[in-house]
Structure 1
Amino acid sequence: MDLAEPNAARARYRLAPHHFIDYVLPCIIFLLALAGWEAVVRVQNIPAYILPAPSLIATTLVKDWGVLSVSLLVTLRTTFLALGLAVVGSVGLAMIFAQSKWIERSFFPFAVILQVTPVVAIAPLLLIYLTPQIAVLVCAFLVAFFPILSNTALGLASADHNLLELMELYRASRWQQLLRLRLPSALPYFLGGLRIGGGLALIGAIVAEIAAGSAGQGSGLAFRIVEAGFRLNIPRMFAALVLISLTGILIYVMFTLLSYLLLRRWHDSARQKGH
């Protein structure tokens, strides 16, 4: 008698409630919330210019897809270009910080200043000196830069000191220590910063686009929100907001999946999730 199949069946049975709570239940709650929203709007006869129903938002999303999809591509291009520049700049700077404490102490305060200064305050100033497209890109870059830098620098500094001493004993150079020990040790930290930076790059792009849209310039999703607000086209505002939310969710899911694929075979955080 093969005991493997009954054991596997019991394991699947034990996992079923867990998967239901993790995936199915949130979807049910979300659909019930949408149904409640739809019912309140219809029963109370709330005008669309005050609060559109979810069905009207979905209809508007389909009807205005030609305009919204172009704006979505503009926002996505800005977000990922800014994120790519932030990754290159932050990882490169973190590697330099790992090689010299004096450089880190000299330049890290500038990164902190840029991080704590609200992008809402920076965006109008940048629009004076730069073109709208470059200003939006710079804002998204600044917001995404610091989380990746700080997480990567922390990861590079968190390498096992026993292994570092062993490499020093074998006379490994500082760059050999960086490439063979510090960078692999920093990978989980970097991926955590990347998940944060991805969402923040989108937020920075949206805030800068709102500032540019208020000045009558721009073509991203946030500009469409500002434009629709001036025209009291509230359903289009909600449709653009839905696209922004879905974009943020997809960015987070994409980088979470990337983190799992890169760490699942050797890092405890991903291996525990896999079990």
Structure 2
Amino acid sequence: MRADVDDAPEDPGSGRLLKIILPLAVAAVLLGSCEAAVRIYEIPHYLMPSPSRVFDSLWTDFPSLVPSWLVTIQITGLALLFSVLGGGALAILFAQSPWIERAFLPYAVVLQVTPVVAIAPLIIIYVPSTYAALLLCAWIVAFFPILSNTTIGLHSADHNLVDLFQLYGASRWQTLTQLRLPSALPYFLAGLKVSGGLSLIAAVVAEYVAGTAGTGTGLAYRVLENSYRMNIPGMFACLLLLAFTGVAIFGLTSFVSWLLLHRWHDSALARER
């Protein structure tokens, strides 16, 4: 009887609830500790603002931050979209032709290993539109994970199944669409999660380098603007919005991954157990 009680399966609902409560509890403890430390030691707000002052600044400045926030979101989203389209299409070409892969993969590697901070000033100089320059910088960083992961996934199809397709006379298109692409889907989605965060990072870095004021500026410039004015709570408010954006991108890409994999792939099935 004792063994039956110990071996009873856990309630899935309680497990999901615990996954939500634990991060919220940790955040509450950290914010409360920071608030208490700032008040007890009377730390000036221009050195370390309390969380309450940061949230108050976010609430006050939010209407003016929304246009800049939307610019950063737009650049990040477009860079990710173009990375998916370009990286996925080029990965399919690489899988279909080893000669194309040998010819172009080294240049993709060069783009990946070159720091965007180093090439962003040149891009901003040579590209007439600042917005297009920021988009190009973000795309360069987000492009390679999609290309690399999708290429590996296309090459990772079971060789026995590939031989079986050839035995039954399947065309290259049939092998690609019915075998290689489904096999590459988990790899592509893993690259999508990485590229989502990198596109936001690259957009922010490019905005820092550009440092231009006007209607086309994003949140990174607002951080610089607040730093010039020594408005530290305003800086933290902008950083809070950027962090929220990154978490939202990760959550969205994770949901897309779960949506496409949870019915058949082991990586998604194991998370649901």
TM-score (norm 1): 0.92
Match of 2:194 among 179, 193, 196: 196
Q: Which residue pairs with 2:59 in the alignment? A: 62
Q: Tell me the residue number matched to 1:207.
A: 205
CA distance in 2, matches of 1:245, 1:199: 10
For residues 205-236 of structure 1, the C-alpha deviation after alignment (integer angstroms, 9 at most, x for no partner) is 000011111x5565101010011111111111
Shift of 1:199: 0.5
Which residue number corresponds to residue 3 of structure 1?
Answer: none
Which residue matches 1:227? 225
User: Which of residues 101, 113, 118 is equivalent to 2:115?
Assistant: 118
Q: Does 1:107 align with 2:116?
A: no
Tell which deviates more after alignment, 94-103 or 172-181. 172-181
Could you say if the C-alpha distance between residues 267 and 77 of structure 1 is closer, same or farther in structure 2, counting changes exceeding 3 Å? Answer: same
Q: Report the alpha carbon displacement of residue 12 of structure 1 after superposing the two structures with TM.
A: 4.7
- Take 2:177 and 2:60, find their aligned partners in 1: how far apart are those partners? 52
Q: How many angstroms apart in 2 are the aligned matches of 1:216 and 1:64?
A: 17
Q: How does 1:229-248 map to 2 (within 5 A)?
A: 229-248=227-246
Matched, 1:132 2:130: yes
Which one-letter code corresponds to 1:267 in the other structure?
Answer: H
> Matches of residues 22-171 of structure 1 in structure 2 within 5 Å?
22-130=19-127, 131-171=129-169
Render the CA deviation track for 1:182-223: whole Å, top value 9, x for unaligned.
00110000000000000000000000011111x556510101
Structure 2: unaligned runs, 5 residues or longer: none
- Aligned pairs, number: 266
Same amino acid, percent of matched pairs: 52
CA–CA separation in structure 1 for the residues paired with 2:260 and 2:177: 17
Q: What CA distance in whole angstroms lies between the structure 1 residues aligned with 2:9 and 2:235?
A: 47
Distance 1:14 1:82, change over 3 A: closer
The normalised TM-score by structure 2 is: 0.93
The answer to whether residue 183 in structure 2 is matched with residue 185 in structure 1 is yes
Q: Structure 1: which 5+ residue stretches go unaligned?
A: 1-6
Segments of 4+ in structure 1 off by > 6 A?
none
Residue 268 of structure 1: CA displacement? 0.6
Q: Which residue of structure 2 aligns with residue 262 of structure 1?
A: 260
Deviation at 1:61, TM superposition (A): 0.6
